[in-house]
Structure 1
Amino acid sequence: MQLISFAQDKKNINNIEFLNSEHAEKVLNFHKSFPMYEKTPLRELKNLASHLGVKNFFVKDESYRFALNAFKVLGGSFAIGSYIAKKLNMDISELPFEKMVSDEIKEKLGNITFVTATDGNHGRGVAWTAKQLGQKAIVYMPKGSSLERFNNIKAEGAEVTITDLNYDDAVRMASENAEKYGWVMVQDTSWEGYQDIPRWIIQGYGTMALEAYQQLSEQPTHIFIQAGVGALAGAVTGFFANAYKGEEKPKITIVEPNAADCIFRTAKAADGRLHFVGGEMNTMMAGLACGEPCDIGWRVLESYADYAISCDDNISAKGMRVLGAPIDSDERIISGESGAAPVGAAIEILANNKYKELRAKLGLDENSVVLCFSTEGATDIENYRAITWDGKECSCENA
């Protein structure tokens, strides 16, 4: 496990007003209009905190989100809602779920095909939203994608293909076909000329951050947040940097698999350029197996994140096992491979003396209040059991 600091020279601070509480409230109100909306739980793991020597340890459990077992639907649904609102010259506040899925709106819109690339959770959220609207979704998955995740997307009525490409090349395929056939691309990766939808997706994740903020019984001193392209990490970082100004801002640490650590590499280079990871990016953290940073998310991170961690898969496996086997009265959390990565990193730094220098650098001590986001449940049951039952990716290697 490696840790680096983001560049300390923050002269050119990027604007993060689009992730402030006012925008997050608008996003939350949109999601609250969904009849299946329920606030996901924030678990207070007091016994784990005591065991690790910190004041408290909170984990937001997104396995309950809209019965889809992951947070990703927040971004996809808000982006699609915002796209429709813009197309109809409306504000998103005028387009609650009931109206968005109405025959009136469908008649005005006509037939739309939404297309995306995904390892599973994002595509399922896009497919689910398209199904609610009576529209079509086409989903491309990277090579090696889980059959269970494939079937979950297909069950939402989408046309799904597991390609022989890595994630970033699958994104390019989706983009090329969107342009060729007039489809609407719904992706959290951004590039020149494609900014609105990824920006809306990032804002959509604000519901999760705002809920956590409202649920917290005390102010966090440290946030560990996972990154794929950096959209989620940017959303959480931007929200909490708006909520807690200056010295009050929690120390924010970005966690990635070392096979796909594009944020870590970009932060380490500190040369103003985005740095990519190519190839197959072999990691069990499928939701984080992204080699090309989202420039919108990166601009938030470079100004407001503090540290980046690149870690082995066994760090995530450790998080999955600890959350699944809680101490005493702590509540159990079923967390998937990508969801448990930040928890595993925080636990390993706190519990393993091999990382005492990292612990000191991060300022983790008996006064620390840690916040993590478990962004998915067991979305691949076979792999979840292989890790938690059979000891796959044994973290004893770190002892």
Structure 2
Amino acid sequence: MSVFSLKLAIEQNRLFNGEISPQFTSEQTRKARAFHQKIAGYQPTPLCDLSELANLFGVGKILVKDESQRFGLNAFKMLGGTYAIAQLLCEKYQMDINDFSFEKIKNTIKEKMTFATTTDGNHGRGVAWAARQLGQHAVVYMPKGSAQERVDHILNLGAECIVTDMNYDDTVRMTMKIAKERGWEVVQDTAWEGYTKIPTWIMQGYSTLADEAVEQMKELGIKRPTHVFLQAGVGAMAGGVLGYLADVYGAQNLHCVVVEPELADCIYRSGVKGEMVNVGGDMPTIMAGLACGEPNPLGWTVLRNCATQFISCQDSVAALGMRVLGNPLGADPRIISGESGAVGLGVLAAVHYHPQRETLKAKLGLNHDSVVLLISTEGDTDVKHYREVVWEGAHPTTA
């Protein structure tokens, strides 16, 4: 067997208290999922059982939620953006979210609205998609270094897309300033003082995927996962999903590992320090969707209370995950997973091939009885880079 060492810094969460958030409960999730179920073309994304890989890695099960098949948008992010926009419009026009329909609200809106957001790619695509469904306008700002393919995805949905010369967090601040000056509605998945309502809706929208996974596990005869690996940028997806899962299973019954790139590991550093820590400067990680330096305080609160461990890892871990998912063992299904989507599986693979494999497995509580849930949050949203990694061997595991 090959042996190689990739960087995995693992920090135990010493602030864990198992406290459930009232904002991210199974009740709130059911409301969000009921909304998504009314959108034309809705269907749960697959939960893939990688039984042969699980056998190789010495765990009971590896289950991967494949979000590349979400509404043809190749990522999960639209779950949050559409739900937040719907809630925003219901509040503005005094409608009940339970009665929401795109056609009804399109006919209700009296004057054209503009939704503004900052994105690394997938969130902006979701906001642009929702705006088009409603016959409205979207303006999407992206940080420097954004792939042209991700820009084109947004432009093709009829939105305006501007790539700045700033990092993600500075671009968020610029977006807020411009939107305020021009009277636009900001739909952002991070929160700050005075801006929490829309990020809360976005996080609740993300939890639809977790509700689907719980239902799918029941259909497979699985009582509950023992582990869930959640990647984090600002921590919105991780917080929304973990909040729901902790409410369903109890945080004490779930070993949650939050994974980030070492070049943008604000949640990991927050876990080390015990309070929110910002990471500044350029964040040139291949995990573009996770290249965020400032934690969402709503997400951080859930992760602080309910996550078990935080991991900061090098980019080669994500690249390894992309290759393993794209080249499955035996009869395991093939999953096309992008840089940000594959990092959870990459951690499992990096542990398996590490010279201290047994020590790392013990630290993560992994054994033959472990049932591991992973979220592949995106497909090949940057096809050129996906092929550079999977075909050409970019970001190799060995020198």
> TM-score, normalised to structure 2's length?
0.95
Q: Which residue of 1 aligns with 2:258?
A: 254
Q: Which runs of 5+ in 1 are unaligned?
A: none
Amino acid at match of 2:11: I
2:177 aligned with 1:173: no
For the residues of structure 2 that align with 1:268 and 1:312, how far apart are their CA atoms?
18
> How many residues are matched?
388
Tell me, yes or no, if the aligned pair for 2:16 and 2:307 is still in contact at 8 Å. no
CA RMSD of aligned residues (A): 1.2
Matched with 1:266 is 270
2:41 & 2:16 partners in 1: Cα distance? 45
Which residue is 2:152 aligned to? 151
Contact 2:78/2:123 (8 A) holds in 1:
yes
Offset from partner CA, 1:227-268 (integer Å, 9 cap, x none): 000000101111110010254x22000000000000000010
Q: Distance in 1 between matches of 2:82 and 2:359?
A: 42
Query: Whole-Å Cα distance in 2 between the matches of residues 353 and 239 of structure 1?
Result: 35
Match of 1:278 among 277, 280, 298: 280
Partner SS, residue 17 of structure 1: coil
- Corresponding position of 2:14: 7
Unaligned segments of structure 2, at least 5 residues: 1-7
Separation (CA, whole Å) in 2 of partners of 1:193 and 1:314 = 38
Q: Report if aligned partners of 1:117, 1:123 keep a CA contact under 8 Å in 2.
A: yes
Larger mean CA deviation between 20-29 and 43-52 belongs to: 20-29
Q: Residues 235-250 of structure 1 correspond to what in structure 2 (within 5 A)?
A: 235-245=240-250, 247=252, 249-250=253-254
Deviates more, 1:373-382 or 1:88-97: 88-97
1:154-205 C-alpha deviation (Å, 9 max, x unpaired): 0011111111010001101111111111111111110000000000000000
Distance across 2 between alignment mates of 1:357 and 1:232? 29
| 1:23-102 map, 5 Å | 23-100=28-105, 102=106
The CA distance in 1 between the partners of 2:354 and 2:104, in whole Å, is 52
| Match runs of 1:1-399 below 5 Å | 1-8=8-15, 10=17, 15-100=20-105, 102-103=106-107, 105-107=108-110, 110-216=111-217, 217=220, 218=222, 219-245=224-250, 247=252, 249-270=253-274, 273-397=275-399
Distance 2:40 2:240 in 1: 24
1:348 is displaced (CA, Å) by 1.5
- Distance between the aligned counterparts of 1:350 and 1:118, measured in 2? 33
| Shift in Å, 1:149 | 0.4
CA distance in 2, matches of 1:322, 1:238: 29
Q: Residues of 1 paired with 2:43 and 2:117: CA distance?
A: 26
Deviates more, 1:306-315 or 1:91-100: 91-100
Spell out, residue by residue over 1:15-67, the C-alpha distance to the aligned partner (whole angstroms, 9 max, x if none).
51222211111111101111121210000000000010111100000000010
Q: What is the rounded CA distance, in whole Å, between the counterparts of 2:165 and 2:15 in structure 1?
A: 40
Shift of 1:226: 0.1
Report deviation, 1:355: 4.2
Distance in 1 (alpha carbons) for counterparts of 2:137 and 2:348: 41
Runs ≥4 in structure 1, deviation > 6 angstroms?
none
CA distance in 2 between counterparts of 1:350 and 1:213 reads 27
Structure 2 residue matching 1:236: 3-state secondary structure: helix
CA distance in 2, matches of 1:303, 1:387: 36
Q: What is the distance in 2 between the residues matched to 1:175 and 1:290?
A: 16
SS in 2 for 1:395: coil
Q: Partners of 2:350 and 2:169 in 1: how far apart? A: 30
> Which stretch of structure 1 is more off in the superposition, 84-93 or 373-382?
84-93
Q: CA deviation at 1:287?
A: 0.2
Alpha-carbon distance in 1 for matches of 2:104, 2:65: 30
Question: What residue identity is the alignment partner of 1:268?
Answer: V
Q: Distance in 2 between matches of 1:355 and 1:346?
A: 10
**Distance change (3 Å), C-alpha of 1:132 and 1:364:** same
Q: 1:334 to 1:9 in 2, by over 3 A?
A: closer
Using structure 1 for the length normalisation, give the TM-score: 0.95
CA contact (8 A) 1:229 1:290 kept: yes
Which residue identity does 2:130 align to in structure 1?
A: T
Q: Flag the structure with more relative contact order, 1 or 2, with Cα contacts below 8 A and sequence separation at least 6.
A: 2
State the identity as a percent.
49
Match of 2:3 in 1: none
* Letter of the structure 1 residue corresponding to residue 139 of structure 2: I
- Residues 130-160 of structure 1, C-alpha deviations (whole Å, 9 max, x = no match): 0111111001110000000000000011111
In structure 1, give the amino acid aligned to 2:262: N
CA drift at 1:347: 2.0
> For residues 261 and 24 of structure 2, what CA distance do their matches in structure 1 show?
26
Return the offset for 1:96. 3.2
SS in structure 2 of the partner of residue 37 of structure 1: coil
Q: CA deviation at 1:6?
A: 1.0
Q: Could you tell me whether the CA contact under 8 Å between 2:251 and 2:306 is conserved in 1?
A: no
